[in-house]
């Protein structure tokens, strides 16, 4: 279907205010742009409460925020560890607070949002090491967080999806912790991808090729190989042992095809659970509910899938 008309108008406004090539924008500028963009998140979903905590990481404590769903009892609940997007150079638990709240509300689970280290101050593999450390700790001490370890999943959107997918692959090779679910929302899975969607939507659809190049340059500088599966999880040759996987993509997102292709591979390995490509939508649409009403519908659908998978 055609691009949603509300999105078309929104993109036109953004284009008028951001004429510069993303490759020339500083990291500070990139971070400021994302903060401004996510001010369009719209009203937050209701939850039972949110509490800031910290978990141990390889370079010290990692800030985290635990969201509890409405009407939660004192019993252990399913849990979802969430990694925010932002190209691994931007974003925080604050910028993506509304997305975490929606996952908590509609998924009827405790969501633990992780404030992993960002590049360029902390280049690859810092964020990935933080992600693995956080999930390992939460799996081991799940009851202390009100979470049932047997119903612990992992989630990431955009570059957070990179971390979620790479972390799942790491645990699958090591055999533990065993996760119950992998949820990837518009994930970046291959920084060297040359798919049709990368070509068709290389510019003018919110996330463009220049932004991907900008972020990769700061996240994986020097000798880091973009084809390393820890950076581009779709490049792995071994997808065995992964948890049940749900992937959501958007029709007008340059990342669409790599998400769809990864799900197809997981179908053959037996890990695929559900795939949805949202028609007429762009990258990050689910976080822009203030201008894209369909975002709420999509998050509700994602939440219901999480609830069913972790039941």
Residues that are catalytic: 158, 253, 283
Tell me if 155 sits within 8 A of 185, measured CB to CB: yes
Residue 214 Rama label (left phi>0; alpha psi -120 to 50; beta): alpha
Residue 116 · residue 132 · CB < 8 Å: no
Q: Which helix (H) or strand (E) holds 275?
A: strand 272-278
Whether the Cβ atoms of residue 132 and residue 86 lie closer than 8 Å to each other: no
Q: Which helix (H) or strand (E) holds 82?
A: strand 77-83
Report, in angstroms and rounded to the nearest whole number, the Rg of the chain calculated over CA atoms. Answer: 18
SS3 298: helix
CA dihedral 214, 216, 221, 227 (to 10 degrees): -150
Cβ atoms of 86 and 51 closer than 8 Å: no
Cα 304-311-42 angle, rounded to 5 deg: 30
In the chain, the largest separation of any two C-alpha atoms, in whole Å, equals: 52
| Residue 34: cis peptide before it, omega within 30 degrees of 0 | no
SS3 content of the chain, % helix, strand, coil (to 5): 40, 20, 40
Report the distance separating Cα 80 and Cα 183, nearest Å. 9
**Residue 302: closest CA among 148, 281, 208:** 281
Strands 49-57 and 60-68: antiparallel
């Amino acid at each position: 279907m055609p691009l949603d008309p509300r999105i078309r108008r929104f993109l036109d406004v953004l284009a008028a205010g951001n004429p510069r090539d993303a490759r020339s924008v500083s990291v500070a500028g990139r971070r400021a742009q994302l903060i401004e963009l996510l001010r369009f998140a719209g009203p937050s979903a209701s939850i039972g409460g949110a509490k800031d905590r910290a978990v141990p990481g390889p370079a010290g404590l990692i800030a985290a925020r635990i969201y509890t769903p409405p009407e939660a009892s004192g019993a252990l609940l399913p849990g979802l560890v969430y990694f925010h997007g932002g190209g691994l150079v931007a974003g925080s638990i604050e910028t993506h607070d509304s997305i975490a709240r929606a996952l908590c509300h509609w998924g009827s689970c405790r969501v633990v949002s992780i404030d992993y280290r960002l590049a360029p101050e902390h280049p690859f593999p810092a964020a990935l090491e933080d992600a693995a450390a956080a999930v390992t700790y939460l799996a081991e001490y799940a009851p202390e967080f009100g979470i049932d370890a047997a119903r612990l999943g992992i989630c990431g959107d955009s570059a957070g999806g990179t971390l979620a997918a790479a972390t799942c692959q790491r645990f699958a090779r090591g055999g533990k912790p065993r996760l119950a679910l992998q949820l990837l929302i518009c994930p970046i899975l291959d920084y060297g991808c040359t798919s049709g969607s990368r070509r068709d939507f290389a510019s003018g659809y919110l996330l463009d090729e220049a932004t991907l190049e900008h972020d990769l340059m700061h996240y994986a500088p020097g000798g880091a190989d973009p084809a390393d599966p820890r950076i581009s999880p779709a490049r792995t040759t071994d997808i065995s042992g992964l948890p049940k996987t749900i992937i959501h993509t958007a029709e007008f997102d340059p990342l669409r095809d790599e998400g769809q292709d990864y799900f197809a591979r997981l179908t053959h390995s037996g890990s695929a659970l559900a795939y949805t490509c949202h028609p007429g939508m762009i990258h990050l649409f689910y976080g822009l509910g203030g201008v894209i009403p369909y975002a709420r519908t999509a998050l509700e659908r994602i939440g219901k899938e999480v609830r069913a998978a972790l039941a």
